[in-house]
Structure 1
Amino acid sequence: MLDLNSVLKNAKKWAREVGKIQRQNFRKNNLLINTKSTGIDLVTEVDKLSEEYILKAIKENYPDHQILSEESGRQDKKSDYLWIIDPLDGTTNYAQGIPIFVISIALKYQDETVIGVIYAPMLDQMFEAIKGQKAYMNGEEIKVGIKKELNQCVLASGFPYDRSSNQDNNANYFAHLVPKVRGLRRMGAAAYDLANVAAGILDGYWELNLSPWDVAAGLLILEEAGGKVIYLPEKRGISLVAGNEVIVKKIYDELKVVDSKKI
């Protein structure tokens, strides 16, 4: 098996270099923006530049490894290693000039995530974890929060890109939880939400219809920080609830209350 500390060092270096590209182009007047699955599912020239940098770095350093990246899909090879990349999570924020977006890099070995890196370049926050070696933000160990009551919690969530055409769009859950919590945040970057739950900055998070690149790094960081995850297998894509052991169950129970009211 690879020396994971060495691999982590590389992944952090790539994330910082990509962060420079993103900072240099942030709020650029002539930023090229296109759409993907829907009119609100954006991709910018910076997404592509960021992905190109990371893919080139992986191929130069680990040429036999498989890669799954948001913009270019899966590049299959016969390898026990799979990189899962979101070169710019929070593209809508980026395109809008909102400084909340991250680079997310994860490495799986035999289907188990062993490295997770999430870097927020405008905030200079580096979240990282190696399987079994705790989780860190900017070199300091992080842990999930200790709150046990929803009315003391600030949670995060988000909405799928097809929310206008699919009623399973999280709006009912969001409305139900608004009066039950201290605050609800819609940060616009799933990886950053998970990282903040891992650091105890947010108390919990749920979202529907996510993709592997949205969560691969964040879930490892969360779990290494003592967090728990409950999956919603009846939902589309990857749908989950995250938090500490108590709060994750309380959020899940509230979602089930909403489900029980459906006709």
Structure 2
Amino acid sequence: MELRAGLEKVAQDVAHFLREVRDDSLDVVIKKHGTDYTKKVDELAEARVFEGLEREGFHFDVVSEESGRTVRGSDYVVVVDPLDGSTNYLSGIPWCSVSLALFHKGGRLLDSFAGAVAEIYRDVVYSYDEEGSYVNGVRTSRKRPQEVVIGYFNSSQWEQAKRILDDFPGAKVRSLGSASLDMINVCLGSSRAYFDLRGRLRNVDVAASLGFCLRLGLRPTSFDGSPLEVDVDDVRQIQSIVLRG
């Protein structure tokens, strides 16, 4: 409870900060890593996460989307996405979040034992511990899903995508732009499934939302059905992910 509550506070503080900050240079590109760019807003959000962790007395190693691995000699690692859905955020689209997932050192992607995902444009925080999943601190369960599938794929991957979509005839397909919230949407029953075949996702994007979903009985796989065997010692790519509700 104490760890979960502390992670909730950090995530919510960063979300509130991002909701209120005003700066004409937020979308200025600071650096490029792989196919993604770090913008000033990402850097500001990450700095706020580090401040929050210090304030809560959490001296963990950190793996963050922007800075990679920060080693502090801890037996724990917190995997951070300071701003998931940055394009939505900069466009004023209210589907973006802050996420933190806590692991024992040497853990794998599905081993997180506490975490939190805070929406930026609403006062909603999703969290989990070893006992269960919570919405605004209240234990939650999965509802009957709606006929919606959230999917991401390139034009060359249509045949793979169709194999997934054929399992959900009549479902509407959406791409909303925040992997963490997309997955939570499925886990709470607002959608039937989520998938991303593009090879662009990283462990930081989904670590916390996966922890939330696992407590609700949903386990993701790769496209071929194999387990997601990804470490969290640093930022790692995920070639494909499928989550079925």
- The interval holding the TM-score normalised by the smaller chain is 0.7 to 0.9
TM-superposed CA distance for 1:226, in Å, is: 1.9
User: Which amino acid in 2 is paired with 1:71?
Assistant: E
Determine if the alignment matches structure 1 residue 219 to structure 2 residue 210: yes
Match of 2:231 in 1: none
Give the Cα–Cα distance (whole angstroms) in 2 for the partners of residues 89 and 171 of structure 1. Answer: 25
- CA distance 1:175–1:96, shift in 2 (3 Å): farther
Give the Cα–Cα distance (whole angstroms) in 1 for the partners of residues 177 and 90 of structure 2. Answer: 12
Determine if the alignment matches structure 1 residue 83 to structure 2 residue 78: yes
Determine if the alignment matches structure 1 residue 6 to structure 2 residue 2: yes
Unaligned segments of structure 2, at least 5 residues: 229-236
- CA distance 1:204–1:143, shift in 2 (3 Å): farther
Determine if the alignment matches structure 1 residue 243 to structure 2 residue 229: no
**Counterpart pick for 2:136 among 128, 135, 138:** 138
C-alpha contact 1:21 1:46 (8 A) present in aligned 2: no
Name the TM-score, length of structure 1 as normaliser: 0.75
- CA distance 1:237–1:25, shift in 2 (3 Å): same
Match of 1:156 in 2: 150
Give the Cα–Cα distance (whole angstroms) in 1 for the partners of residues 17 and 160 of structure 2. Answer: 37
TM-superposed CA distance for 1:79, in Å, is: 3.0
Q: Which has the higher contact order (CA 8 A, sep 6+)?
A: 2
C-alpha contact 1:205 1:242 (8 A) present in aligned 2: yes
- CA distance 1:118–1:181, shift in 2 (3 Å): farther
Q: CA-to-partner distance for each residue in 1:37-94, whole Å, 9 max, x for gaps?
A: 477x34332211110011233245132x211000001113443211000000001111
Match of 2:127 in 1: 128
C-alpha contact 1:120 1:126 (8 A) present in aligned 2: yes
TM-superposed CA distance for 1:36, in Å, is: 2.5
What RMSD, in angstroms, separates the aligned Cα atoms of the two structures? 2.7
Match of 2:219 in 1: 228
Match of 1:180 in 2: 169
TM-superposed CA distance for 1:144, in Å, is: 3.3
User: Any idea what SS the aligned residue of 2:122 has?
Assistant: coil
Match of 1:16 in 2: 12
Name the TM-score, length of structure 2 as normaliser: 0.80
Number of equivalent positions: 225
User: Any idea what SS the aligned residue of 1:196 has?
Assistant: helix
Q: CA-to-partner distance for each residue in 1:218-255, whole Å, 9 max, x for gaps?
A: 111001112122224789725221123xxxxxxxxxxx
Match of 1:67 in 2: 62
Match of 2:186 in 1: 197
Match of 1:253 in 2: none
User: Which amino acid in 1 is paired with 2:193?
Assistant: G
Greater radius of gyration (CA): 1
Give the Cα–Cα distance (whole angstroms) in 1 for the partners of residues 127 and 193 of structure 2. Answer: 19
What's the % identity of the aligned pairs? 28
Higher percent of residues as helix: 1
TM-superposed CA distance for 1:192, in Å, is: 0.7
Give the Cα–Cα distance (whole angstroms) in 2 for the partners of residues 181 and 79 of structure 1. Answer: 49
Matching of residues 74-113 of structure 1 within 5 Å:
74-110=69-105, 111=107, 112-113=111-112
C-alpha contact 2:80 2:204 (8 A) present in aligned 1: yes
Runs of 4+ in structure 1 off by over 4 angstroms are 233-236
Give the Cα–Cα distance (whole angstroms) in 2 for the partners of residues 118 and 37 of structure 1. Answer: 24
